[in-house]
Amino acid sequence: MSIIDKYIKNSNDVNSLQVEDACFSMSKSYLKIIGIPYYPYPDHQTKLTSNDIKNILKQNHIFDNISLASKPRVIKVSPKSDMALVWIDIWDVQSGKNVKMLINRYFNVGNFIATIRGANMNPGVLLCKNCWKWGHATLSCRIQGAKYVKCNSPHKSEHHREFSWCCKAKDKTNPPRLETKKGKPCPYLFKYTNCKGDHQADSVYCPFWRH
């Protein structure tokens, strides 16, 4: 690498100040970290962020020669859990040497012990923005009209308050149901049709979304 670097930078036709150092061809490797609390601060309300993860990695010597290929991603392990699941993509040589050195390693995050696991690349699962079902693109959706991402009713999100049953007033129910005020989000929980989870179709908590 040093021979190639000197040769290129000493060439008469090259401005050495604009040439980066020579390096091997790099590829991405994929890891996930488990065992970190989703609310790591004493107030138990402040969420773990990507910047927090970057700072944690900088403080641990096992990541000294590791470069992130993208911003870390942080989600809850599950909606009712207080632990986080973190995905990191790193630059690696084609043999995967860096990722092999990290898989199954442990490191401390405060009083917690985090574990590094291997992960598969997530190429992305198609999510239709028309019917909100996974597995096909919006342009190839076969249903007519559109459905709202939260309640799966046949209307667009901006028309939810006007057309959905759940946001309209019902005087005959016991107790009577009040109308959702204009500008306020729908207060009702729904079950997503694909996985029966209590979240919207595009939520990161959906198991169809995960690695």
pLDDT tens for each residue of 16-74: 666 666 566 678 888 999 999 999 888 888 999 999 999 999 999 999 989 898 889 89
Is 75:85 a contact under the CB 8 Å cutoff? yes
Kindly list the structural domains of the chain, giving each domain's residue range(s) and its CATH number in brackets, ordered by start.
25-118 (3.30.70), 124-211 (no CATH)
pLDDT tens for each residue of 86-97: 989 998 887 788
Matching residue, tokens 């402040």: 46
Specify the length of the chain in residues.
211
* pTM reported for the whole predicted model: 0.52
The separation between CA 91 and the C-alpha centre of its own chain, rounded to angstroms, equals 19
pLDDT band at 210 (very low <50, low <70, confident <90, very high): very low
Which helix H or strand E contains 88, and what residues bound it?
Answer: strand 83-93
- Cα–Cα distance measured from residue 193 to residue 208, given in angstroms and rounded to the nearest whole number: 12
pLDDT tens for each residue of 26-38: 788 889 999 999 9
pLDDT band at 193 (very low <50, low <70, confident <90, very high): low
Per-residue confidence (pLDDT) for residue 15, from 0 to 100: 74
